[in-house]
Structure 1
């Protein structure tokens, strides 16, 4: 039985989502495209399980755009990759006449999806995007899904062999040219893992060496 019929979760069938799918498929690697699609399903299933009210079209758009900032299109960007993705989604949605409130939900969902402790207190679409991304990359919330649910999603949108290592490399390739953008996030873990010469910025040192202390 198809995934949609078994769990009452599907990709919304609209002109907007079809265009989102086409755009992201043409922009991202197969690894990121499949990951982004799974993120939508994990997020939507979580929303259904928790009885949350959310807009599937907005959640799908956020999920598909959430890692687009890691692609080669942004090789010269110095922004956080999350902001690149959020801006791309915002431009896309504005171009399709989506209202400002919904555009803001998607922007915040993407911009905050790597920021722990905040999204879960915001709109459902924002909370569910982070939940879906955490599930697919790090297995956060893994036990809340049944074997049947996990197998159905993976069968429809397979995880590549050595997915974890490949995903870490995607993060590294998308951020190695803008290491300063990882400050204050866990994104610097990817740079530290892949580059033994990477030096993390230490906020305590910044504070102690500021003009306030030595002016």
Structure 2
């Protein structure tokens, strides 16, 4: 079976190739932008380097590398350009987790409930490091590989496991193609199209900084909406309302 992935001799890793991984690669390629696809591939590569060099992952027993690769490859299906795949009321991470679960269930009926749940958690929690790092190694590896695409050699881990040469090799293999600008557009689009999914997480910060079009349009209105939906204010108002029943 020929692999769709290039060799990475500097990093000394090989992105695994099998029918399910290759099908997942083709699925992301078909339904996401090339920029998003390359982000997912870079994240896979960084995750594999970290699995080899970062002790908490390297020393994890019975690591499920296939689950890590598939979770990372499919993690941003919530950004799909095929809008029919997406919900109108769920966070993009949940959309991605649901799509990944449906894909693997459809393509490979041999995955048991535990592996499927592991992948769902890895995708759903990939933007929540304060939770992901305390779950299974596969969930942590997925989250850390994705974070590395944003921090590269500046990843704040002991021993600086991602070298500059490794970083350069991965980015040459899977170019960024304007990723920073596309990311801003996607996040602002979520604030515009699914605002209720953005108030309690970092996505809303994009809307408050860049507006709903990435250029400042709708910024004030969205910021006001976020303030009205502020979780602390809502919790305290709810507790105050309950005081009438406690006297």
Q: TM-score, normalised by structure 1?
A: 0.89
Aligned equivalent of 2:88: 77
Q: Pairwise mapping of residues 63-212 of structure 1 onto structure 2 (< 5 A)?
A: 63-72=72-81, 73=83, 74=85, 76-95=87-106, 96-97=108-109, 98-139=111-152, 141=155, 143-161=160-178, 163-195=179-211, 196=219, 197-199=221-223, 200=226, 201-210=229-238, 211-212=241-242
Q: Secondary structure at the match of 1:209?
A: helix
Q: Structure 1, residues 32-77: CA drift from partner, whole Å, max 9, x if none?
A: 0000110111111111112144322211211121111122425652
**2:69 pairs with one of 32, 35, 60:** 60
Q: Secondary structure at the match of 2:129?
A: coil
Contact 1:9 1:45 in 2 (8 A): yes
User: Structure 1 stretch 129-138 or stretch 42-51: which is displaced more?
Assistant: 129-138
Bigger radius of gyration:
2
**1:31 pairs with one of 35, 49, 52:** 35
Q: CA deviation at 1:213?
A: 4.8
Cα distance in 1 between the residues matched to 2:121 and 2:181: 28
Contact 2:101 2:116 in 1 (8 A): yes
Contact 2:98 2:120 in 1 (8 A): yes
Q: CA deviation at 1:23?
A: 0.5
Aligned equivalent of 1:9: 13
Q: Secondary structure at the match of 1:148?
A: helix
Q: 1:65 to 1:85 in 2, by over 3 A?
A: same
Q: CA deviation at 1:18?
A: 0.8
Q: Secondary structure at the match of 1:192?
A: helix
Q: Structure 1, residues 96-119: CA drift from partner, whole Å, max 9, x if none?
A: 111111111110000001113111
Cα distance in 1 between the residues matched to 2:242 and 2:28: 47
Name the structure, 1 or 2, with higher relative contact order (CA <8 Å, separation 6+).
1
Cα distance in 2 between the residues matched to 1:214 and 1:77: 37
Aligned equivalent of 2:26: 22
Q: CA deviation at 1:159?
A: 1.3
